[in-house]
């Protein structure tokens, strides 16, 4: 596995599934320009709609995704180095090119030693030094491999696992903190006590993305398991292990036991099941097997009085496996994962093997991404805030910040007004919901404060070490927050991330600069298109504060039931209808979406789209929307929404998303429109058409 540990959103209420953060800026330590207090929207020059992408042979009411995007899909090929292609990918590609220009420009400028610019230049140069990587072979990992060989007993093994503990920054979308880490650590405020940060211990230890890859009975997952066993053996053989096949089987068998210990995705998303404050002194009796004293010492957590057990049953079972499984099996497992974790930074033979399994086998990609693209991604993952400062200075104008902030305020106001109009909600619950919406912190473009990288050592000739030190630096950054008051304005995405996020523990939203690009947000486009695309994104994130997870938290980010029983029952009835709606969608033959697994994102899509639509009409100020390119304002609004979700996926990538991600695949997110009354009127959708829902069957939550 060659993916980097990146800073992501706590509780994972993000717009997209994980997407590499890849953007940049110009000079080191730059201060972004201040946005003006107000900015007038420019007169619409374009419709903001890809007219050529529409397939008018399809009835909107039969398949709105195919109608809005069918011609684009027919004309579009998925790049050989990608598992999918989408609107988000095109925005990401623009960011990637910008970052490439700027990072390579920094290296040519020869910045001073000790500056972030120097760290960026050296990190990228080390990644790109293929000749040096080939010459060094496995030498950069030798100290790690020797350390594993020196493990003499289960106490030393426990200390090793503690020393390997790293920061997990997205617990709901990273239900397996995989590679060599048996556990991951998430740091955030207490669920019931928001006054200080605490640590949450989470399950990990698998080399494949999720327990279902080990346990599912279908032929595709069986093929993945066969390929994984071979991959383990091939890596060990390449490293010179004469007993590779036997060890590969033992490692796979051990991981199968780890997978059986894991909680599934839906259970891991249940915040109440994560609310388990265990005294560290009690871990030895609550989860016997690991030497917890040695583990906590190795992890630098000996001074902590309490660690929450996010998946308590899994932690018990994983601890028991440390005691029950042979020491040599664990050492072989650690050997393999030490190499696997850094395979992309080792000689080409290792990187090719890794891509063959994780890229081709698991995601269907047939060509590895260009090395410069991987180098940019790696550099950005390690030095995201340093690059973010540079990006916003060069690529994010104050006018865009001001205009998007205005849209956010409009949609928040629409949401508050909508709460007032809910006939089913009691006044008491309405009051709390409105207070939460009114106090929600909104960050547009970039954070108020930036990460300090001065203690992070980057060497121009040590790509493996740079990556491992970056992970250690992230761990130190996270653990330094333990016991301290939370920073409610902290960002969990960098400005160059093509994504957006709602943070229920902070009651905050982040809209990074990189997603505020056409076609999500186009300053030259008509408001209808912008409200249908970025407006729906904003509405989505606002609504996350009130979805099945966000509704569990109050305005202070405290886990608290603020619903009356009657309101809670109505909310559950509505969400049950949405679960059933998504359960009915079949992604691949025999593989249906999981409505419970994707419920939070689906709630946010439905409520967010409705809020954006209402806010768009409010923005018209009572005036009729212009007709542009032969399309009414409402037509442009809904088409912009569907085109924001246009995507093509390889079957393997689609399967991976359905099995392990909290987001429905894009095609079915585009069909959210079937729950919005105005869509039926706009496109004359009639009973008998495939997407038609009777008014009483349409899901209305907020």
Domains, the chain, in order of start with CATH, read: 61-100+382-481+490-697 (3.40.390.10), 152-345 (1.10.1380.10)
Contacts of 17 (CB under 8 A, 6+ apart): 173, 657, 661, 662, 663
Cα 585 from Cα 594, distance rounded (Å) = 9
Helix residue ranges per DSSP H, 304-440: 312-324, 327-341, 348-354, 362-363, 371-382, 384-395, 398-420, 427-439
Residues of the chain short of pLDDT 70, as ranges, are 1-45, 170-180
Three-class SS of residue 690?
A: coil
> Are the C-beta atoms of residues 390 and 17 closer than 8 Å to each other?
no
Provide the CB-side half-sphere exposure for 37 (13 A, CA).
0
For residue 306, what are the β-bridge partners? 279
Burial of 204 (0-12, 13-18, 19+ CB in 10 A): buried
Strands 508-512 and 441-445: parallel
Specify the pLDDT at position 95: 92
Specify the pLDDT at position 36: 32
Q: How far apart, in Å, are the Cα atoms of 201 and each of 103, 303, 314, 472, 520? A: 36, 15, 10, 17, 36
Provide the CB-side half-sphere exposure for 248 (13 A, CA).
21
Specify the pLDDT at position 180: 62
Specify the pLDDT at position 30: 31
pTM: 0.87
Specify the pLDDT at position 571: 87
Cα 10 from Cα 595, distance rounded (Å) = 22
> Are the C-beta atoms of residues 563 and 571 closer than 8 Å to each other?
yes
């Amino acid at each position: 596995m060659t993916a980097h540990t990146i800073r992501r959103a706590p509780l994972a209420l993000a717009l997209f599934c994980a997407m590499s953060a890849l953007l940049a800026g110009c000079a080191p330590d730059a201060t972004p320009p201040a946005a003006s207090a107000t900015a007038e929207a420019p007169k619409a020059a374009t419709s903001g709609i890809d007219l050529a992408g529409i397939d008018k042979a399809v009835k909107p009411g039969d398949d709105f995704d195919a109608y809005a995007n069918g011609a684009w899909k027919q004309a579009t090929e998925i790049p050989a180095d990608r598992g999918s292609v989408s609107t988000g990918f095109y925005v990401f590609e623009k960011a990637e090119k910008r970052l490439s220009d700027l990072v390579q420009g920094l290296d040519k400028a020869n910045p001073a030693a000790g500056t972030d610019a120097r760290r960026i230049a050296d990190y990228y140069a080390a990644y790109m030094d293929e000749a040096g990587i080939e010459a060094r072979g496995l030498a950069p990992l030798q100290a790690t491999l020797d350390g594993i060989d020196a493990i003499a007993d289960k106490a030393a093994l426990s200390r090793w696992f503690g020393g390997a503990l790293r920061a997990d920054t997205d617990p709901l979308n990273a239900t397996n903190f995989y590679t060599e880490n048996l556990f991951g650590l998430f740091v955030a405020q207490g669920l019931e006590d928001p006054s200080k940060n605490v640590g949450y211990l989470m399950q990990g230890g698998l080399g494949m993305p999720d327990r279902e890859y080990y346990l599912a009975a279908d032929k595709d997952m069986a093929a993945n398991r066969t390929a994984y066993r071979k991959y383990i053996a091939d890596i060990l053989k390449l490293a010179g292990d004469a007993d590779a096949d036997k060890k590969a089987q033992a490692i796979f068998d051990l991981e199968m036991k780890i997978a059986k210990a894991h909680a599934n995705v839906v259970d891991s998303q249940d915040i109440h099941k994560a609310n388990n404050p265990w005294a560290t002194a009690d871990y030895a009796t609550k989860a016997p097997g690991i030497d917890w004293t040695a583990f906590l010492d190795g992890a630098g957590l000996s001074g902590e009085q309490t660690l929450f057990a996010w998946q308590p049953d899994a932690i018990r079972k994983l601890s028991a496996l440390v005691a029950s499984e042979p020491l040599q099996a664990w050492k072989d497992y650690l050997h393999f994962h030490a190499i696997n974790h850094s395979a992309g930074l080792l000689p080409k033979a290792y990187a090719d093997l890794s891509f063959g399994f994780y890229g081709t086998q698991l995601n269907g990609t047939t060509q590895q991404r260009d090395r410069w693209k991987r180098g940019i991604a790696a550099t950005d993952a390690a030095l995201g805030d340093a690059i973010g400062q540079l990006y916003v200075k060069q690529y994010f104008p104050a006018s865009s910040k001001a205009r998007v902030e205005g849209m956010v305020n409009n949609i928040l106001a629409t949401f508050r007004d909508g709460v007032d109009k809910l006939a089913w909600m009691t006044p008491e619950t309405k009051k709390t919901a409105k207070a939460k919406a009114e106090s929600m912190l909104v960050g547009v473009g970039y954070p108020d404060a930036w990460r300090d990288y001065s203690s992070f050592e980057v060497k121009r000739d040590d790509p493996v070490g740079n990556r491992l030190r970056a992970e250690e630096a992230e761990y130190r950054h996270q653990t330094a927050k333990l016991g301290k008051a939370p920073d409610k304005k902290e960002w969990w995405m960098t400005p160059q991330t093509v994504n957006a996020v709602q943070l229920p523990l902070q009651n905050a939203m982040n809209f990074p600069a990189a997603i505020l690009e056409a076609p999500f947000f186009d300053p030259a486009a008509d408001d209808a298109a912008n409200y249908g695309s970025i407006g729906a994104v904003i509405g989505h994130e606002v609504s996350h504060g009130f979805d099945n997870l966000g509704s569990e938290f109050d305005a202070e980010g405290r886990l608290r039931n603020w619903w009356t029983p009657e309101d809670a029952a109505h909310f559950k009835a509505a969400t049950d209808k949405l679960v059933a709606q998504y359960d009915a969608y079949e992604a691949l033959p025999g593989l249906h979406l999981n409505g419970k697994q994707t419920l939070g994102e689906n709630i946010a899509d439905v409520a967010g789209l409705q809020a954006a639509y209402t806010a768009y009409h409010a923005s018209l100020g009572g005036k009729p929307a212009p007709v542009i390119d032969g399309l009414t304002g409402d037509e442009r609004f809904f088409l912009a929404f569907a085109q924001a979700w246009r995507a093509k996926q390889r079957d393997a990538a689609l399967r991976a998303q359905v099995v392990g991600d909290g987001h429905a695949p894009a095609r079915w997110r585009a069909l959210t429109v079937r729950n919005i009354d105005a869509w039926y009127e706009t496109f004359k959708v009639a009973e008998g058409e495939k997407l038609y829902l009777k008014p009483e069957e349409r899901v209305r939550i907020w």
